[in-house]
Structure 1
Amino acid sequence: IKPFDVQKLYNHLTEKGLSARTVRYVHAILTSAFSQAVKWQMLVVNPCNVVTLPRLKKTEMKAFSPEEARRFLEAAKDDKHGLVFAFALASGMRPEEYLALQWKDIDFEKNTATVQRTLIWRKGGGWYFSEPKTAKSRRTLPMPKNYFIELKRHKRQQAEQMLKLGQSYERNNFVFATDEGKPLYLRNLRKRNFAKILEKAELKGFRLYDLRHSTATLLLSEGINPKIVSERLGHASIILTLDTYSHVLPDMQKEATSKLGQMLFG
């Protein structure tokens, strides 16, 4: 294996649409593997040492403060699809995960939601189910009990709509769907609903994906173990979680130091 082979792989992944962060994550894994191969004298040099990595896009990641999160949820109550955004914030799921949820993935007795698939829209129209992003993306998440009370009400309303439309209602069994039972289109959801909620809550500069970032940041800032947060987000490893949310760690260190001081010195 030569540097050219590794570079060719990275270029291929980039052309397929994978983000620079993902390619760099692949690079970290390969670098580690090839380093071991060098130690075992299976390779003379590590081919990853001289390849060119894609540049990271400087997209500013934003997250709600607890007060902003409450304002957002309050404003979302009046939106037709407000329950979708509340779910996103409470779960930390990726948009393609929560929009793919079917009622069989919801356990009202245990108050859990299970990720088993993702929803993908074709460029030319139409949609299909795909596999979750990583093996660890398949996960079952405990959800707030109060939220599930609202979700039960939503399910009853959906059943009433289904009876009303009869054969015209598409029985895809989606948790979150249009009035006709079709899957929600992410772009429409972002422009027609999410943007209006932000405006009503007087919140600026947030993207839909920032709901996921907010979940992680809020949990980490409350001192929740990063391993638990990583599992909730469905990250491939805790390394990715710590790298993505490193901005939260200094405050966690301060709080840990304070608690240690109280334990040791009163």
Structure 2
Amino acid sequence: MKGKVYKPKCKCPKDKKKKCRCKGNWGYLVDIGNHPKTGKRRQRGKFTFKTKKEAEDALVKFLNEIHQGSYIIETDITFEDYSKQFILEYEATGKVSPGTVRIREKDINRLLDFLAKIKLKKITEKQFQSSLDGLKERGYAENTLKSIHVTGRMIFKKAFKNGFIKKDPSVDSYVPVIQKTVEELEKEKETFKYLEKEELALFLATAEKKGIGFDHTAFVTLSYTGIRNGELCALKWKDIDFQKGTIRINKTYKNDTNNIKKYKLGPPKTKKARRTIVVDDYTLDVLSKHKVLQNKIKLRHGNSYYDKGFVFAEESKEYAGYPTYPKKVENRMERLLKMIDLNLQLTPHSLRHTHTSLLAELGVELIDIMDRLGHSKCDTTKNIYLHVTKPKKKETANKFSELMQGLR
């Protein structure tokens, strides 16, 4: 592969014995082969050099990049169009939940206000940072800004890896800090969405007396095992070993359409989330009684029952046997919380946090709790653990002090 160095706008006589004396720029032009789709000839060049030597040096550097495979042919795709492509590829990995995909889509929509029609290759570090600063001025919360920043970084990192851009404009970007006043910091308190043990007992008792269908069994399972709502909805009877007293978590529920019959089962949130949980006798007994009731429902529906072995299955004629869905579990929980006048911001995920707090209160080690929850790392779990165990740490310090004082 060769290139040529010349003055594209030179009007001097083409006499080799005479030097070019016009003030035009020097440049180079290289034939880089035919386009793989259209078959048309492709050329690349640059014509902004003041001297022939500068153009020759640039040509040598360009040819070296091609031979070493480091040359990137940037495209004219806009940020908006590439974002659509990114989402399709991101979802196609099968490693992310529908909820996470929706979060990425929301983040992209917010960035589109600033970057939509700009060509991906033209976006500068300053422009991307300005978009984050602009979103801060619109009043978005710090966690939302962090999420948008992560999504933007993912898009540009992928574009760079795939050869759409030569430089990632998000490398040195940062989340603009939202400064809090001294008064706000003084008033700020650690708040975690979980139930105290007395509240949990009241909630479960209400679910047993006034719950609908599988309510009581579902909320006992969530609060006594700490599994996620999506994991609950995907649970099958073959995942429960009543003899060994274990529940195996190896899938989660997914449904983008909100059509009960068009559900999907996917792998858990992370590799660590695939786990086997040891279950207490009470929970196993509640599940066993639920299975007896479910068998009666199956007999009533006969062959029309969608029998795929789901533990928490729908009971209505049209959907009998299909797995229930997370939103329904949320609605059932809200209904019960209203009855006993508890915090309506609590969700099924709050029962997972409740499980964490009560295990911490019992003195179970953090590493054991995280293993049970299927976490390799989780700040929320750690924060709940540290919050709950603070009194115990104070008690330990006092005991040590008492020991030493007794030696005086």
Interval containing the TM-score (normalised by the shorter chain): 0.7 to 0.9
Amino acid in the other structure paired with 1:84 = A
Question: Aligned to 1:172, which of 308, 329, 332?
Answer: 308
1:52 CA displacement: 2.2
Deviations 1:156-189, CA, capped at 9 Å, x for gaps: 1111211221111101210111111111122222
- Contact between 1:76 and 1:86, CA under 8 Å: does it hold in 2? no
- 1:131 is the counterpart of 2:267: yes
Deviates more, 1:123-132 or 1:145-154: 123-132
Against the structure 1 CA distance between its residues 51 and 256, is the aligned structure 2 distance closer, same or farther, given a 3 Å change threshold? farther
1:201 CA displacement: 2.9
1:255 CA displacement: 3.6
Structure 2's unaligned 5+ residue stretches are 1-82, 91-100, 108-142, 151-168, 179-187
Question: When the two structures are superposed, what TM-score results if normalisation uses the length of structure 2?
Answer: 0.51
Larger Rg: 2
2:195 is aligned to: 64
Size of the alignment, in residue pairs? Answer: 235
Which structure carries more relative contact order (alpha carbon 8 Å, separation 6+)? 1
- 1:183 is the counterpart of 2:314: no
Aligned-residue CA RMSD (Å): 3.5
Question: Aligned to 1:223, which of 357, 360, 363?
Answer: 363
- 1:73 is the counterpart of 2:204: yes
Where 1:147 maps in the other structure, the secondary structure is helix
Question: Aligned to 2:104, which of 15, 21, 36?
Answer: 15
Deviations 1:171-225, CA, capped at 9 Å, x for gaps: 121011111111112222222x212211233312322211111111111122210
Higher helix fraction: Structure 1 or Structure 2?
1
Question: Aligned to 2:341, which of 186, 191, 202?
Answer: 202
Against the structure 1 CA distance between its residues 114 and 260, is the aligned structure 2 distance closer, same or farther, given a 3 Å change threshold? farther
1:110 CA displacement: 1.4
Give the percent of matched residue pairs that are identical in Structure 1 and Structure 2: 28
- Contact between 2:366 and 2:385, CA under 8 Å: does it hold in 1? no
- Contact between 2:274 and 2:374, CA under 8 Å: does it hold in 1? yes
Structure 1's unaligned 5+ residue stretches are 1-7, 28-46
- Contact between 2:366 and 2:382, CA under 8 Å: does it hold in 1? yes
Amino acid in the other structure paired with 1:154 = H
1:112 is aligned to: 246
2:172 is aligned to: 50
Deviates more, 1:211-220 or 1:239-248: 239-248
1:214 is aligned to: 354
> C-alpha separation between the residues in 2 aligned to 1:49 and 1:259?
50
Where 1:149 maps in the other structure, the secondary structure is helix
